[in-house]
């Protein structure tokens, strides 16, 4: 009878220890899931921001391409017969620049 009482106590202590360990494990798992969710949300926001920036930069590139295309039509350096010279003439270059 004394031995079965000791065994019962040991089983109760073991179950309690196991219950506490299971609670700790579930809490740790929940914290890990929460952290992953926060990281996911942060990455989603960053992705949205980067897509917005790509859109702005694409629009700017289109605008600058149009400006360049318009400028090429009137640029004296492009229409110069000496346009194969590696160093442009300073007077031709300054006439090309905005005043």
pLDDT tens, N- to C-terminus, the chain (99 residues): 567 888 999 999 999 999 999 999 999 999 999 999 999 999 999 999 999 999 999 999 999 999 999 999 998 887 765 555 555 555 655 555 554
Assessment of whether the complete model's pTM goes beyond 0.75: no
Number of domains making up the chain: 1
With respect to residue 34, please indicate whether it lies within any of the assigned structural domains.
yes
Cα(54)–Cα(59) distance, integer angstroms: 9
22 within some domain? yes
Start-end of H helices in the chain:
2-74, 76-79, 90-96
Q: Residue 8 sits in which domain range?
A: 1-79
**Is the residue at 96 inside a domain?**
no
Q: Is residue 17 part of a domain?
A: yes
Q: Is residue 42 part of a domain?
A: yes
Contacts of 72 (CB under 8 A, 6+ apart): 78
Closest CA to 28 of 20, 39, 38, 17: 20
Residue 10 inside a domain? The answer is yes
Using CA atoms, how far apart are residues 27 and 21, in angstroms rounded to an integer? 10
């Amino acid at each position: 009878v004394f031995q079965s009482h000791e065994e019962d106590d040991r089983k109760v202590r073991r179950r309690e220890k196991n219950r506490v360990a299971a609670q700790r494990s579930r809490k740790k798992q929940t914290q890990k899931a929460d952290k992953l969710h926060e990281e996911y949300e942060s990455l989603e926001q960053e992705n949205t921001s980067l897509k917005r920036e790509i859109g702005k930069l694409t629009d700017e590139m289109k605008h600058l391409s149009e400006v360049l295309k318009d400028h090429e039509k009137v640029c004296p350096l492009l229409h110069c017969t000496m346009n194969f010279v590696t160093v442009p003439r300073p007077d031709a270059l300054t006439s090309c620049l905005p005043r």
